[in-house]
Structure 1
Amino acid sequence: KEAGHAAPAEVAMQTVQVLKRTVPAAVPGIFFLSGGQTPTEATVNLDAMNRLAPLPWRLSFSYGRALQEPPLLAWRGDAANAAQAQRALLQ
């Protein structure tokens, strides 16, 4: 937790509380964007929300950035780094 940032458990509690007040249970799922979060942060935040189960909907992230960032950093546009980038994606 960085200075000025709430812990994932607190953010999860507040987020789920707002969702329960405003999103009908008939909605099958809610997907958050992971932009601005590291892959680890996105995973920790999603886990914290899902630990508040039972929830009426499925919660997840659209992990586009969280999934792409590690392989792109490993690859850096160099074909010689392709195997390393593939390992980063699998991780």
Structure 2
Amino acid sequence: MPANKKYLTPSISQRFAKITAAILGGLIVTVLFHMALASWFNHVAVIITSTFSAFVLWAVLMVVAFLGKNGWKVWGIYLLASSVLFVIFYFGNQTNPLV
């Protein structure tokens, strides 16, 4: 049974945006989330926990990227989340250096 045409993305740029947001954007948000956690909490425990939680978070973010109607908006949300997480990581690293 073929897919219903109204549910398929007709634009190649939208398809490209969704695929790259799912793979790259989800990975960037996942890594920055765990880096931000490690800069404020016990970094050894966060790294050990991230071996499982990073995969789960990345998979969830991949699904979310395909649920959106506009792939470029998903990229914008992922870049905004990455920026916020980077700021949290930066200030956490300045406050709690790992030296």
Does 1 or 2 have the higher relative contact order (CA < 8 Å, sep 6+)? 2
The structure with the largest strand share of the pair is 1
The structure with the largest helix share of the pair is 2
Pairwise same-fold verdict (TM > 0.5): no
Normalising by structure 2, what TM-score? 0.34
Normalising by structure 1, what TM-score? 0.37
